Amino acid sequence: MVRFAAGFLHLLTAVMWFGTILYVHLLLKPAYASHGLPRGELIVGWGSIVLIAVTGTILTFYRIPTMDVLLHTRFGRLLMAKIAIFLVMTATAFIVTFVVGPRLKARHVTVDPRKRDLTMEELSSFTGKDGSPAYFAYRGTIYDASGSELWGGGLHMGKHQAGYDLTDALKHAPHEEDQILRLPVVGKIVVNAPQEKKPPHLAAFYFMTFLNLVLVLAVLLIIAVWRWG
């Protein structure tokens, strides 16, 4: 029963973790989290890492009685590959959470508060924090959510941070766009502004998000070989 329970939790947790990664990449796009992962995704991610580590250790105890089985059997070698991928994903999660994430959230530039039309870099200063207005972009238009009770502290429903283009994220919101269109309009996104070079921490974020997608596919490939090879 212990082995069965550990196996069930291991599989369930992997589905939740991998499903979150695939959902962000295929539907929301990585730019959704380019200001730092929302709290909900962090809880799912780190909870999954801990549960997979614990249940994986229990399953390994039952399936691998000796080091010889681990090193010299097809099952053992595939298991070591899976463990190595898990460790790399854990390392990237640590870097994104504690190194890259805080820098993404701190991104801002100095902008004249009277300016109406803004570049994306200028928009990032209006996060609703530290006394700044809560602006966000939707389909090229900038809206002011400062007066909305649903945008307390510049954060909508604990997930969507003001100061960014939320067009893709809000496509999947549980309400129609009329809830957005009723907000005061500030101006337009300046689309012809010179493109600024991405800061190193933003480039690192995108690299690690796509690396994790590749690693998820690698784990699924290992499982396929494991079960049907």
Got the DSSP string for 116-139?
A: -SB-HHHHTT-BS-TT--BEEEET
Q: What pLDDT, on a 0 to 100 scale, did the predictor assign at position 48?
A: 93
Q: Is 29 exposed, middle or buried (0-12, 13-18, 19+ CB in 10 A)?
A: middle
- Judgement on whether residues 138 and 49 belong to the same structural domain of the protein: no
Residue 218 has pLDDT above 70, yes or no: yes
Mean pLDDT within 82-107: 86
Does residue 115 lie in a domain region?
A: no
Q: Write out pLDDT tens, residues 164-215.
A: 888 887 777 777 788 888 999 999 998 765 555 667 877 888 888 889 989 9
Q: What pLDDT, on a 0 to 100 scale, did the predictor assign at position 2?
A: 92
- Judgement on whether residues 97 and 151 belong to the same structural domain of the protein: no
- Judgement on whether residues 150 and 170 belong to the same structural domain of the protein: yes
Q: What pLDDT, on a 0 to 100 scale, did the predictor assign at position 58?
A: 95
Domain that holds residue 20: 2-106+201-228
- Judgement on whether residues 206 and 170 belong to the same structural domain of the protein: no
Does residue 41 lie in a domain region?
A: yes
Does residue 112 lie in a domain region?
A: no
Rounded to an integer, what distance in angstroms lies between the CA atom of residue 216 and that of residue 85? 9
- Judgement on whether residues 96 and 8 belong to the same structural domain of the protein: yes
- Judgement on whether residues 179 and 206 belong to the same structural domain of the protein: no
Q: Write out pLDDT tens, residues 38-74.
A: 677 788 889 999 999 999 999 999 999 999 999 999 9
Q: Which residues pair with 143 in a beta bridge?
A: 136, 185
**Whether the model pTM is above 0.85:** no
Residue 196 DSSP code: P
